[in-house]
C-alpha cells in the first residue's frame, strides 16, 4: 500500500485516538489498513468542495466513532463505504482484504445509496420501509446516517437543485429514521441542516433572532440555575447543567403548527440537568430540589424514567415558574440516560456490552428494536432478533419503483407479472415483457428491493397458463386463473359448435351414450376435452366420424346379444309345446320375428326343418301362410298361473351414484319380480344397462317398464328385442 503522508498520519492518529476513547476494543492494524486502502482507492477523486475525496470517508469514520460508537467494524466499514460505488474495486476484494462481515456492511451501504439516486421522494413511509427491507445489519444504517450527516454538513458545495433534493430526502427519510433509532442528536442536526436548504429565509431569520437575545437568555438561565446548583452541591451530587439548545427546525415547526410568532415560542426557557450517578433515584432527589425552589406547573410533569418512551428514552420532564414569572422547562436525567437519548442504538448496545445484560435488559432491547421498525404491534414471535446485530424485518416484502418513481410493495419473489398486476389489472393482462433497471428481463424473473420496473404491454397479449407457475400475488393469481378458465370455456364452446355443425351437415344423430362411447374410444377424459381438441384442430372429425360409422356397423351385433338372451329365456321356460304337448317334434325359432316367451306364437310346418315358431304378428308368416294355411300348427309357451318367463329390458340414462339402486328397486319392489341379471356400462356421464328378470307375462313387463321410466335420469326403457 501507499506510503501515507504526514497529513494522513495526523488524520489516522486522530481517528485511532477517537476510537480508543469511545470503543470497547479496536483492531488497530485492520483499521490502519482500511485507512490506507481508502486513500489508495479514492486517490484520483475530488469532492465537490475541491478537497481530496478521502476526506469524506475519513469524516464518516470519525462521525461513527463519536456519534455511534458501536464497534471498530462499523468504523472500518465507514472508511470503505464509497469504495465500491466510486472506484474500480469490487466487493470480493473487500471481502478478501477485510473479511465478509465488513464486505457485507459496505455492500449494504452501497445498495441503499443506489436506490435513492435521482428519485423524487413522494411516499416517505414506503421509502423508510424500503430502506429497512434492504438492511439486514443495523450497522449498515449507522454508516449510512454518518455518510448522510457528513454530506449534509458539506452540502453548500453542490448545486442548488441537488441541495434541495438531498435536503428533502434527509428531512423525510433519514431524520425520522434517526429518531426511531433514538439518535436524538443526529436527528436534530439533520433536521436543522435540511431546514437551512429547504427554507433558507425562515432558517436565517430564526438563527438571527436566537443570536440577538442570547446574552439576555444566558443571564436569565444563570439566575434560574444558581440556587439549584447550590442545593445540588449540598447534596454532594455530581452534575452538569446545560441550557438546552432549542433547535431551529423544531422552533419553526412549532411556529407553523401553533401559528405563533417566534417570540412566543422561544420565550419558553429550557435547561437540562444531567446527574453523574448510577442511581435513578438521584433524579427524583433533584426533582425535589427543583420543586422546592420553583413552583411546578401541574400538567406539565412527565416521568419517562419509570415509563420509558418506545425508543428507550428516559428522563424526567417538568415545567416550573422561574424568576419574573417565566416558564422554564427542566429535564432531569442520568449520564447514561443522556447518552441513550443522544446516541440511541449505539449507546444502548455499548451498555449492554459493558455490563452483563440482565434478562430484563434483553427483553427491553428486543422490544425497542421491534418498535423501531414498526409500531410494536406486529408480533411474529420473538425471533432471534438479538443474534449479533442482525435484523430480520421486512424480509418478506420488497419495494420496487415504477418508471415514474412511485414505490410499490410486493411480496418477496414477486415477478414483473406481479408488478404489472399491482399497477393495474389491464397492465397485467396485456403484459408482454419487462425492463428491470433498463434491461429487458424474462417475465418470470425475481424482483428485488430497489429495482425499477417498466412493463411493456401489447393489445394482443393475454395471460398465459405458464404465468401461474411463478406469480406470487393473490391478485395476479386470481386474474390469471379466471382468464384461463374463461379461455378454456370459450374454446370448448367453439369445439362444440364445430361438432354440432358437422353432424348436422352429415345428418347424423348421436345419443349421449353414443357420444360417450365415441369419446371413450378416442381416449379423452371428458367431452370438454373432446370439444377442446376439435377447436384446436387436433382431431380429424371426418376421419373420426367415418371410423365411428364403420365401427358402429361392426358393433351392431344386438342380434347376437339378443340371441343369447332369447336362448336363455326359451330354455328357462322349457321350450315350446306343440298342440299343448312336449311332443319331441323338431322345431326352431324363426329369425324374421324372433319370438320370445310372452309373445303369442304360432308354428309353421316346413320341409326338412321341422316346425318354425313365429310370432302371431309376424308379417312374413302372414305372407307365407296365405299360400298354404294348412301348414300352420298351434304352439304354446308352457304356461300356468305360477310359471314365469324371462323378460329383458334395455335402459339408457344419466349416470349417477344411486342409479343402479333405483333401477333394481323399481323392479324388485313390483310384486315378487326377481332379477336374473343386471348389466350396466357407464361412459363418462351416461349408462347403458341390460336387465333380465322373471315376469308373468307381457303386461307384467310393460308395467315394470312404466315404473323404470319414472326414475329420475332415465332417458329410455325398451323391451329387449331384435330389430
Ligand atoms: Mn459517502
Distance between Cα 59 and ligand 1 center (Å):
10
Cα(365) to ligand 1 centroid in Å equals 29
Q: Report CA(57)–ligand 1 centroid distance (Å).
A: 6
Q: Reply yes or no on whether the pLDDT at 666 is more than 50.
A: yes
Q: Which CATH number fits domain 395-472: 3.40.50.2300, 3.10.20.30, 3.40.50.720, 3.40.50.970?
A: 3.10.20.30
- Fold for the domain defined by 207-347: Beta Polymerase; domain 2 (3.30.460)
pLDDT of residue 390: 37
Q: What is the pLDDT of residues 320-351, one digit of tens each?
A: 888 888 888 999 999 888 888 877 655 555 54
- DSSP-based three-state secondary structure for 155: helix
Tell me whether strands 611-615 and 587-589 are parallel, antiparallel or unpaired. parallel
81 alpha carbon – ligand 1 mean position (Å): 6
**Least confident among 30-44, 138-152, 168-182, 196-210:** 168-182
Query: Domain 645-719 class?
Result: alpha beta
Decide if 45 is catalytic: no
Given the residues 36, 40, 86, 353, select the one marked as catalytic: 86
Task: List the CATH code of the domain at 6-181.
Answer: 1.10.3210.10
Backbone angles phi, psi at 420, to 5 degrees: -60, -45
Beta pairing class for 601-605 and 453-457: unpaired
Q: How far apart are CA 325 and CA 304, in angstroms?
A: 26
What is the 3-state composition of the chain as percent helix, strand, coil, each rounded to the nearest 5?
Answer: 55, 15, 30
Greater confidence, 698 or 188? Answer: 188
List CB contacts of 448: < 8 A, sequence separation 6 or more: 398, 400
**Integer Cα distance of 100 and 104 in angstroms:** 6
Distance from the alpha carbon of residue 303 to the mean position of ligand 1, in angstroms: 40
| Ligand 1 mean position, distance from CA 147 (Å) | 5
Report the range of poorest mean pLDDT among 9-13, 346-350, 411-415.
346-350
Burial class for 121, CB neighbours closer than 10 Å (0-12, 13-18, 19+):
middle
Distance 56 CA to ligand 1 centre (A): 7
Question: What gap in Å lies between CA 702 and CA 720, rounded to an integer?
Answer: 12
Q: Which pLDDT does position 396 carry in this prediction? A: 64
pLDDT tens digits for 584-619? 788 888 888 888 887 888 999 888 778 899 988 888
Q: Does the annotation count 86 as an active-site position?
A: yes
Q: How far does the centroid of ligand 1 lie from the alpha carbon of residue 30, in Å?
A: 20
Mean pLDDT of the chain: 80
> What's this model's pTM, rounded to 2 decimal places?
0.52
Q: What is the pLDDT of residue 98?
A: 94
Of 548, 532, 403, 398, whose CA–CA distance to 473 is shortest?
Answer: 398
Among 13, 14, 17, 85, the one annotated catalytic = 85
Separation CA 651–CA 717 (nearest Å)? 5
Percentage with pLDDT > 90 across the chain: 21
More confident residue, 396 or 287: 287
Handedness of CA 338, 344, 349, 350 (dihedral sign): negative
Domain boundaries, the chain: 6-181, 207-347, 395-472, 484-549, 575-636, 645-719
Domains 6-181 and 395-472 share a fold: no
Query: Model confidence over 677-703: pLDDT tens digits?
Result: 777 777 667 777 788 888 877 788 888
Q: Are strands 674-683 and 601-605 parallel, antiparallel or unpaired?
A: unpaired
| Residues with Cβ within 8 Å of residue 48, at least 6 apart in sequence | 154, 157, 158
CA-angle at 338, arms to 337 and 341, nearest 5°: 85
Per-residue pLDDT of 524-583, as tens digits, reads 877 888 888 888 888 877 777 776 666 555 444 444 467 777 887 787 777 888 877 777
Task: Work out the pLDDT band at 386, boundaries 50, 70, 90.
Answer: very low
Check pLDDT > 70 for residue 388.
Answer: no
Q: What is the C-alpha to C-alpha distance for residues 166 and 339, in angstroms, rounded to an integer?
A: 28
* Alpha helices in 171-280, H assignment, sequence order: 175-180, 184-198, 200-212, 214-234, 248-258, 262-266
Amino acid at each position: 500500500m501507499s506510503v501515507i503522508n504526514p497529513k494522513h498520519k495526523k488524520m489516522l492518529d486522530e481517528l485511532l485516538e477517537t476510537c480508543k476513547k469511545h470503543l470497547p476494543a479496536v483492531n488497530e492494524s485492520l483499521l490502519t489498513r482500511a485507512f490506507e486502502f481508502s486513500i489508495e482507492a479514492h486517490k484520483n477523486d475530488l469532492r465537490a468542495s475541491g478537497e481530496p475525496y478521502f476526506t469524506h470517508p475519513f469524516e464518516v469514520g470519525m462521525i461513527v466513532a463519536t456519534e455511534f460508537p458501536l464497534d471498530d467494524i462499523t468504523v472500518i466499514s465507514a472508511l470503505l463505504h464509497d469504495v465500491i460505488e466510486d472506484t474500480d474495486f469490487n466487493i470480493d476484494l473487500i471481502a478478501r482484504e477485510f473479511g465478509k462481515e465488513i464486505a457485507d456492511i459496505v455492500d449494504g451501504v452501497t445498495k441503499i445509496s443506489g436506490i435513492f439516486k435521482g428519485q423524487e421522494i413522494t411516499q416517505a413511509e414506503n421509502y423508510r420501509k424500503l430502506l429497512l427491507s434492504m438492511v439486514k445489519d443495523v450497522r449498515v444504517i449507522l454508516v449510512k446516517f454518518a455518510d448522510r450527516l457528513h454530506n449534509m454538513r458539506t452540502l453548500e458545495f453542490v448545486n442548488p437543485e441537488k441541495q434541495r433534493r438531498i435536503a428533502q430526502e434527509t428531512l423525510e427519510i433519514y431524520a425520522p429514521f434517526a429518531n426511531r433509532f433514538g439518535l436524538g442528536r443526529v436527528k436534530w442536526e439533520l433536521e436543522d441542516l435540511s431546514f437551512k436548504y429547504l427554507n433558507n429565509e425562515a432558517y436565517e431569520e430564526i438563527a438571527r433572532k436566537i443570536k440577538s437575545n442570547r446574552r439576555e437568555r444566558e443571564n436569565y438561565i444563570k439566575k434560574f440555575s444558581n440556587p439549584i446548583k447550590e442545593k445540588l452541591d449540598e447534596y454532594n451530587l455530581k452534575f452538569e447543567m446545560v441550557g438546552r439548545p432549542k433547535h431551529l427546525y423544531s422552533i419553526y415547526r412549532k411556529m407553523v403548527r401553533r401559528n405563533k410568532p417566534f417570540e412566543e415560542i422561544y420565550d419558553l426557557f429550557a435547561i437540562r440537568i444531567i446527574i453523574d450517578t448510577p442511581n435513578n433515584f438521584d433524579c427524583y432527589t433533584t426533582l425535589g430540589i427543583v420543586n422546592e425552589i420553583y413552583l411546578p406547573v401541574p400538567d406539565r410533569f412527565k416521568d419517562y424514567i419509570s415509563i420509558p418512551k418506545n425508543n428507550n428514552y428516559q428522563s424526567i420532564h417538568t415545567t416550573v415558574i422561574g424568576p419574573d414569572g417565566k416558564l422554564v422547562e427542566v429535564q432531569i436525567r442520568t449520564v447514561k440516560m443522556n447518552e441513550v437519548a443522544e446516541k440511541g442504538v449505539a449507546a444502548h448496545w455499548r451498555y449492554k456490552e459493558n455490563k452483563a445484560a440482565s434478562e430484563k435488559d434483553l427483553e427491553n432491547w428486543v422490544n425497542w428494536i421491534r418498535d423501531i421498525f414498526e409500531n410494536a404491534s406486529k408480533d411474529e414471535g420473538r425471533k432471534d432478533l438479538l443474534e449479533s446485530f442482525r435484523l430480520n424485518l421486512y424480509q418478506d416484502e420488497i419495494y420496487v419503483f415504477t418508471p415514474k418513481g412511485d414505490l410499490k410493495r410486493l411480496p418477496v419473489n414477486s415477478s414483473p407479472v406481479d408488478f404489472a398486476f399491482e399497477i393495474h389489472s389491464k397492465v397485467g393482462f396485456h403484459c408482454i415483457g419487462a425492463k428491470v433497471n433498463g434491461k429487458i428481463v424474462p417475465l418470470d424473473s425475481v424482483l428485488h428491493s430497489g429495482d425499477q420496473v417498466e412493463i411493456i404491454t401489447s393489445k394482443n397479449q393475454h395471460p398465459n397458463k405458464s404465468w401461474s407457475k411463478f406469480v406470487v400475488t393473490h391478485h395476479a393469481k386470481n386474474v390469471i386463473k379466471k382468464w384461463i378458465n374463461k379461455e378454456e370455456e370459450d374454446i370448448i364452446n367453439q369445439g362444440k359448435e364445430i361438432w354440432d355443425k358437422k353432424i348436422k351437415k352429415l345428418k347424423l344423430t348421436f345419443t349421449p351414450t353414443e357420444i360417450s362411447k365415441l369419446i371413450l374410444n378416442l381416449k379423452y377424459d371428458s367431452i370438454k376435452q373432446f370439444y377442446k381438441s376439435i377447436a384446436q384442430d387436433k382431431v380429424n372429425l371426418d376421419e373420426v366420424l367415418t371410423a365411428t360409422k364403420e365401427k358402429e356397423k361392426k358393433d351392431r351385433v344386438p342380434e347376437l346379444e339378443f340371441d343369447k338372451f332369447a336362448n336363455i329365456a326359451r330354455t328357462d321356460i322349457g321350450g315350446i309345446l306343440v298342440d299343448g304337448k312336449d311332443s319331441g317334434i323338431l322345431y326352431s325359432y324363426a329369425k324374421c320375428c324372433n319370438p320370445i316367451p310372452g309373445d303369442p306364437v304360432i308354428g309353421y310346418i316346413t320341409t326338412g326343418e321341422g316346425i318354425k315358431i313365429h310370432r302371431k304378428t309376424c308379417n312374413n308368416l302372414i305372407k307365407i301362410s296365405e299360400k298354404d294355411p294348412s301348414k300352420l300348427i298351434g304352439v304354446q309357451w308352457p304356461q300356468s298361473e305360477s310359471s314365469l318367463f324371462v323378460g329383458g329390458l334395455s335402459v339408457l340414462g344419466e349416470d349417477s351414484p344411486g342409479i343402479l339402486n333405483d333401477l333394481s328397486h323399481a323392479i324388485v319392489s313390483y310384486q315378487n319380480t326377481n332379477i336374473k341379471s343386471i348389466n350396466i356400462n357407464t361412459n363418462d356421464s351416461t349408462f347403458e344397462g341390460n336387465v333380465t328378470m322373471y315376469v308373468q307375462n307381457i303386461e307384467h313387463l310393460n308395467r315394470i317398464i312404466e315404473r323404470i321410466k319414472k326414475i329420475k335420469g332415465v332417458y329410455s326403457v325398451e323391451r329387449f328385442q331384435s330389430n
